Amino acid sequence: MVGNWLKTSILMAAILALFGMIGGMLGGGSGMLLALLLGGAMNVYAYWFSDKMVLKMYNAREVDGASAPQFYNMVGELAQRAGLPMPKVYIIDEAQPNAFATGRNPEHAAVAATSGILQLLSARELRGVMAHELSHVRHRDILISTISATMAGAISSLANFAMFFGGRDAEGRSSNPLAGVAVALLAPLAAALIQMAISRAREFEADRGGAEISGDANALADALTKIDAYARGIPMAPAEAHPETAQMMILNPLSGGGLAGLFSTHPATEERVSRLRALALGR
């Protein structure tokens, strides 16, 4: 738990530094101070409300034992096995098979799955996926992913503002317009690299933890293989509109490939499956 609090603090500090850099480009010393204050306020807001923002972005609807009994009861059984409080359960009406967990701690957690993944996977495979998401909750890294998603989006917006309106020096004079373009390109990249560094290692750990919770490493391996085969050809509009949230999903929901893959927040599916197969064999 201490390790994740340290990671969260480092993440917040790094994002705050990016806010300050962009603010300095926009308005010199006063712009930097204003951006730092804005970044600090957004960090506080993200801590308390970023999970609700993400769920709203995806038009997620909460379900219970009456509206989605099989899915809801499955999550409840896995939460009990993991020693966790019952999270809120959501369904996202999207055809792409995917899922994520969010919230600031296990007592205020939520898990969400798309209608596409509920239709695609067998009960055994879906159980593996939801165990993976609950592993994120148990490891308390849902706060890191949710805050990073919210703040990365804010940084991109601020960087675009810098490109279109340019910067000012300490005396209020216009600065080099190329610097604004550089900030607009490099600041979102820096935010993406921060997310990538956090997310890739976290996915391997959640795979291992999910296999432990479900007691069936092959179920998650089978699910990942099936999701990877289907998700590539089915776009998810909310993820494309908010690419900073992609790292929260069990598999990258974005349609971009090629060079974009170098900056993917998810490790290669083949490697994840290989590790799970080895785990199932006791290696």
**Predicted model pTM:** 0.78
Contact 29, 170 (CB under 8 A): yes
Residues 6+ apart with CB under 8 A from 231: 96, 97, 98, 251, 253
Other residues' Cβ atoms within 10 Å of the Cβ of residue 122: 12
Joined together, the tokens standing for residue 272 give: 């994840």
Q: What is the pLDDT of residue 100?
A: 96
Contact 117, 126 (CB under 8 A): yes
How buried is 14 (Cβ within 10 angstroms: 0-12 exposed, 13-18 middle, 19+ buried)? middle
Q: How many CA atoms lie within 13 A of 210 on its CB side?
A: 34
| DSSP secondary structure letter of residue 86 | P
Amino acid identity of 34? L
pLDDT along the chain (283 residues), means of 10: 60 72 70 74 73 93 98 98 97 97 92 98 98 94 72 64 55 54 60 60 91 97 96 90 85 66 70 96 80
Return the active site residues: 133
Q: What is the pLDDT of residue 263?
A: 47
